Structures are given as structure tokens and as C-alpha cells.
Structure 1
Amino acid sequence: MSKRFTDNPQPELKSGFLTLLEKEMLRFWRVALQTIAAPVMTALLYLVVFAQVLQDRIKVYGVIPYIEFLIPGLMMMSMLQNAFANPSSSLIQSRITGNLVFILLTPISNGQFFTAYVLAAIFRGLAVGAAVWLMSLFFVPLPLNHLGWVLAFAVLACGIMGVLGLIAGLWSEKFDQLAAFQNFLIMPATFLSGVFYSIHSLPPFWQSVSRWNPLFYTIDGLRYGFFGVSDVSPWTSLIVVTTVFVVLAILAIRLLVSGYKLRY
């Protein structure tokens, strides 16, 4: 009697959530030269230029050399931009090429869809931020006073931008719409969040404006994790950043549940 092939144990199939998460992770990891190395190189160029010009002329908070002050800002800027890029570019490409329908047909819930895209964005943002930090060690050994605060603000900041990237990807039907979202919202908010300066160096009016920018609190909180000093209390920053993440997450999930620009 021939042996039954069904006697052999069958490989366990991955869930739709894990498959989508793996797809989004591999999507940036397989082109790491573009998605990780290129942003790190950009951050290092900023660091080299500003370090040469301002290193011996400015001390922030009276004690921190400018090059040290700059590194957390560059880390956060790189994390924010790349966390946003991952889901937004993935969704717009899937929409234009027409393969988004194959994702929507899978037995995956809206919550799993949301979580897979946002987690992949967080992983990409953290990978870029860690790479910038490691490369910056060749310039200056950056102090690390509170690892927990660093991780909390890094994850929440990448989560915020991952959700914004998801919303932008759902809203955009063409690449120029996505570029407008990034150029007129994400880029100004990032550069005006205190990447290159402390808000206490600004006039009172612009200090007030900066406090309405939620990305300011992500950078300020990250700096507290490294230096133990910041423009505002880290608890205030944590409350603001967490609130923004929760509000955006609720909005994104509502859009997914309603099938916004997905079911037509």
C-alpha cells in the first residue's frame, strides 16, 4: 500500500496580519540602501556642516555643546520622515498598480490592517534613528541619561507619523497629492519643531506657535532622554504625544471602517 502523503504534518499557514506585516517590513528592508542608508547619510551631512560652523560658538541650555544638542533632533527628524514614508508610499503604489484589491480581499480586520502598516512604519523609523545614533558616535559620545524616555518618545513619534502616513496614503490618489501632503504639512511641521534650535532662543510669539506643534514635543522629549534637560516637562510632552497618537489612530481606523477611498 502506498504511503499517504496526508500523514505528513502540513506547514502552518501565516495569518493575514503577519503576512501583511512581513510584506511591509521586507518592502523597506530589501532596499535598505535607499530606505535606511540614504537618510543616515543626509543626517550626517547636516551634522558635519552645522558642527563645523557652530560647534565652538553655541552652547544650548548653557552647558550642552551644539553638536550634541543637534544629534537627537536629527535622529527624530529622520525617524519622523521615514515612518511617514513607509505606509504612505506603500498604499499609493498599491493603489496605482491595482494590487491594493488583493490586500482588501484577504480575511484581515481593519484593526489588523492598521496595526500591520503602523508597526512596519515604527520599525523603519526606529531602524533609521538607531543608525543615525550609531554613526553619530564617530563624532561625539552622546550621553544617555534616561533610556526609557528615549524609547517611549521614539516609538510614539514613529507611531504618529506611521498613522499620518496611513491617512495620507488613503487620501492620496496620485503621487502629486501625496507630495503635497508631505511638502506642505509634514516637512514644515518637522523643520519648525526644534530640530536645529531650542524654542527658548525664539521670540515669544514663535515660542507660542511652536508649542502648538505636536512634533516639537517628540523632539523635546527625546532630548530629555539623552540630556536630562528639556524646554518643557517630559511628562507634558508624553501626554501631548500620546494624545495626538490616540486621536490620529481613532481617525485612521474610522476611515478604514468606512472604506474611505477603498470601496469604490
Structure 2
Amino acid sequence: MATLAKRETRRFVVVWTQTLLAPLVTAALFLAIFSVAIGPSRGDVDGVPFLHFLAPGILMMTVIQNAFANTSSSIVISKVQGNIVDTLMPPLSPMELLIGYLAGSVARGMMVAVAIGLGMWLLLGIEFHHPIWALVFVFLGSALLGAAGIVAGIYANKFDQMAAITNFIVTPLAFLSGTFYTIDSLPPLVQNLTRVNPVYYLIDGARYGVIGHTDTPWFGFLVCVVTLLAVMALCWYWLARGYRMKP
């Protein structure tokens, strides 16, 4: 299991310009574009500058996208290249496979979060109100989307299937979760639909950790933990059955 975790971590570390530097640049571009386009005219949001409100959402969005990509790409590439057997043949239990894959996603998500968090502090002067909560939600987001990436990687047998899952499921969940706006401005029906999205609670939790934006971090924490356990249970079940993994 430790060897699998090391492999999953080294996969993204050796190409750090793509997996660590590129997300930092992308997050900086998002902030720059919103600052130039609507930042000055937007005013404060719940008593904080718009960029300070926006930055935690972009941080969490970047974290979950990278965590999802780490596990999903690892499994799909192994299946397409035909070397998934190298992972399945060693005497690893389904839980050990699950933890080994998740270790890489969590490590990548945490590294991306630290890099973006340092940039937010140095360039925007944002001080973290509740740093422990911020780390907890970054960990939960990395683990949850890492587990979702395992589900997607197991289900997809081709790159176009994975692209469809990313474009039509993961990206909408990330963008329509209050990343760039407060849901208080939405119609009541859309607000209720947004609250069904677990990514909303990750974004909201990150905002609480950075700017103290929410009053109910414990509820969001509970939703994220329950969702994570449910997705991990599905991963374990599919890995135990060898569903769409064995030739």
C-alpha cells in the first residue's frame, strides 16, 4: 500500500510544472480576470472585498479538480495501456488499493492548496481566519474528489468517456456551487438545488476557513464526511468485485 501511495504521489511530482505550477497560474488568471472585469464595480460581499470572497472558492475548485484528475487519470491510463494488471496482481486488499490511490490525490490537493494559499497571502494580503478548518475542508475535498476520480476511472474504459464525465459532471458541480458568487442572490429553487451539491459545502467550508464567511461549518463538515464515506464505500465495493477493472 505504501508503494502504491508513493507511486501515485511521484506521478504528479515528477511533472510538477503541469500538476502544481499550472493550477497556481490558472488560479492567478481567474483572480486577475475577475479583478479587472468586475472587481472594482462589484463592491463588498458580506462585508469583505469581492476578491477576498472569490479567492477561497477558486482555491477549493482548483484543489478538487486536481484531486479528481490524479486518481481518474492514473486508473484510465493504466486500463488503456493494459498495465492495470500490475496494480491488481499484488496481494493488496480493496481497502489498501483505495487508500493507496487516495493518498496521491490528497497529497496533490494539499500541495496545490498550500501553493495557492501562499499566493493569496502574499499578493492579496488575505489572512486565514480559521486555518484548521481550511485544512480540514481541503483534506475532505481532496479525498472526496479523489474517491470520485476512482469511481470515474473504474467506470471509464476510454479517454473520451473520462472526458465526458469531467466535462458534464465534475466541471458543472464545481462551477455551479457558489465558487464565483453567493447563493443568496439566486432564486429559492436554485438555492435549494445548490444545497444538494456536496461541492457547495466544500466551497463554503473553504470560505469559512479563509474569511469566516459561514455560520454553520459543522453542518457542511458533516455533509462532506457522509458523502466521502458513501463514495469510498462504492469504490471499495467496485474494487472488491473487480468491476470493469479485470480484462
Answer yes or no: is the 8 Å Cα contact 1:54–1:66 preserved in 2.
no
Counterpart pick for 1:90 among 74, 79, 82? 74
Matched letter for residue 187 of structure 2:
P
Q: Deviation of residue 142 (structure 1)?
A: 0.9
Answer yes or no: is the 8 Å Cα contact 1:144–1:226 preserved in 2.
yes
Per the alignment, residue 108 of structure 2 pairs with 124
Answer yes or no: is the 8 Å Cα contact 1:86–1:120 preserved in 2.
yes
Matched letter for residue 120 of structure 1:
G
Structure 2: any 5+ residue segments left out of the alignment? none
**Cα deviation code 1:226-246 (max 9, x no counterpart):** 12222x611110111111001
Higher relative contact order (CA 8 A, sep 6+): 2
Per the alignment, residue 246 of structure 1 pairs with 229
Q: Deviation of residue 138 (structure 1)?
A: 3.7
Query: TM-score, normalization: structure 1?
Result: 0.91
Matched letter for residue 105 of structure 1:
M
Q: How does 1:226-241 map to 2 (within 5 A)?
A: 226-230=210-214, 233-241=216-224
Q: How does 1:44-123 map to 2 (within 5 A)?
A: 44-57=28-41, 58-61=43-46, 63-123=47-107
Matches of 2:160 and 2:115 in 1, distance apart?
A: 30
Q: Secondary structure at the match of 2:132?
A: helix
Q: What is the count of residue pairs matched by the alignment?
A: 246
Matched, 1:198 2:182: yes
Answer yes or no: is the 8 Å Cα contact 1:214–1:244 preserved in 2.
yes
Q: Counting helix residues as a fraction of each chain, which structure ranks higher?
A: 2
Matched, 1:135 2:119: yes
Answer yes or no: is the 8 Å Cα contact 1:29–1:35 preserved in 2.
yes
Matched letter for residue 202 of structure 2:
T
Query: TM-score, normalization: structure 2?
Result: 0.97
Please tell me whether Structure 1 or Structure 2 has the larger radius of gyration of its CA atoms: 1
Per the alignment, residue 27 of structure 1 pairs with 11
Q: CA RMSD in A?
A: 1.1
| Percent identical residues | 38
Matches of 1:236 and 1:136 in 2, distance apart?
A: 26
